[in-house]
Amino acid sequence: MAFLLLARLHVVNEATQFLPLPSAWVSVRDTLLLRNLDSISVERWTELEEEHLHSGHDAMEDEEEEKKAPQVKPLPGDDTLFTNSCHWSTEERLIRLLLRIAFLVSFNERAKLLTRFLLLSQPQRHPGMPKQFVVHRGRTFVDTYERFKHQPDSVEMFSVRFAGANGEYEEGYGQGVYRELLHCIGLEGFTAEHGLFRTTEDGFVYPNPLSFETTGDEEHLGKISFLGFMCGRSLRDGILQDVPFALHFRNALLGRRNTINNLKGFDAQLYRQLVSLVNLTEEELSLMELTFTYVDNSLGVAREYELVRGGAEMKVNTHNRLFYIDLVADYKLNREGAPQTLAFQAGLERIIHRSWLRLFDSIELFKLFGGDNSGSFDVADWKKHTVYKDPEDEHSVPVKLFWEVVESMTAEQQSALLRFATSMRRPPLLGFQFLSPPFMVYLVKNISSQRLPTASTCFSTFKLPPYTDYGTAREKILAAIEEGTTFELT
């Protein structure tokens, strides 16, 4: 069937790109069809998703259904699930398309749909001031987990305060500090030093299969699940985590099974060793004395795992070596870290249903959680969606100088500026129009032009002194953002 073939080709392209332009896959540009994206209900989506699951994910109905509702006799290769498609509403047609071959619709359209679903499923926040919650820098993840492990969606996180090394509270509260909290949780929780996750040679993050052996912590799976929930919460609240998940881990989050094609990017040395077995003679394989086991030497201890029942007694030969290669890849990519991956999924899917995640492929999932990895900022979009304390300030000399400085900055400096004013390192997924509260430039007119800018991250506000020349503006702005590492300067 054509759509199944197309879907499989798309998955292959994620592991080994043969079509470098993502837009080449997009073929649904029907404005009448896409107009229904804004009206798709979560209830209708769930109803059709369950029907899709019962179809076995292969788009084939069972024989009983065919007997109940006999239709026009299908041609060889036809997908019987689409027999009644001529009777579908436009909404149903779009949902079924998104459930099966979502990549035909542009990333931005799908991201907007996910954003709307997350907002609709967000719990109601009760009025009133929640209790203040204090975390210590360097212990953000531990402090937050101990306080909220049983209530990870608590509104108390919005009233977080940071304490420095000396125990004194940093200045700042509200939305900006909350964003900083979620970023720090990810920054600490996903580090290899914490023991719950590992990194590949290329710096990509995946669950540590030996998280208990590494940490000795009985709550290791609970903490991994908590991190999954925090990732979901961050995405729901429009906060991008700067955590590069490994490809095989992203595939697992999408419910996919990894194959030997995915091993190359995870463990290139093991991949080369396995592939080299294909060219060996029977005698050469016999000399290697390989069996259907895998030996892991992590943490200085050799652990042997059977790839199949009785694998220690099964010799690898020219007849079964391809089976052996597939089993080793399956073990490393799917089975070895399964308990940790399932724990993370359990937390994440309390916020984001898996079918919502499946709107995206593994490459897009990277972008969904971490934002655009190109490092570039769309300054025109940033400027377009900036507000001003006084509307007339937009055309003032200091503000014009400010934007000239921003345009001259490197991507790293622009990221530092955004963090200085909002505590976010990257722009919102769909652009600055989704930054809440919106980025504001507050021209402070009654102070010296030799002062450094300040910021109020709670309100995404950059407080700009009345600079009159480009050199001074650039010097002062860069000095401020390079020094402003905590809320004490904001």
231 is a catalytic site residue:
no
> b/e per residue, 144-159, with b = 16+ CB within 10 A?
bbebbeeebeeeebbb
Distance of CA 18 to the CA centre of its chain: 23
3-class DSSP state for residue 205?
strand
Q: b/e per residue, 384-402, with b = 16+ CB within 10 A?
A: ebbebeeeeeeebebbebb
- Which residue in 86, 184, 231, 458 is the catalytic one? 458
Residue 316 Rama label (left phi>0; alpha psi -120 to 50; beta): beta
**Which residue pairs, CB below 8 angstroms and at least 24 apart, start in 458-464?**
458/172, 458/173, 458/174, 458/175, 458/176, 458/177, 459/174, 459/175, 459/176, 460/175, 460/176, 460/421, 460/422, 460/435, 460/436, 461/421, 462/402, 462/417, 462/420, 462/421, 464/398, 464/399, 464/402
Q: Report how far apart, in Å, the C-alpha atoms of 218 and of each of 140, 222, 298, 332, 438 are.
A: 20, 9, 20, 24, 43
Residue with tokens 């790293």, as numbered in its chain: 412
Instruction: Report the catalytic residues.
Output: 458
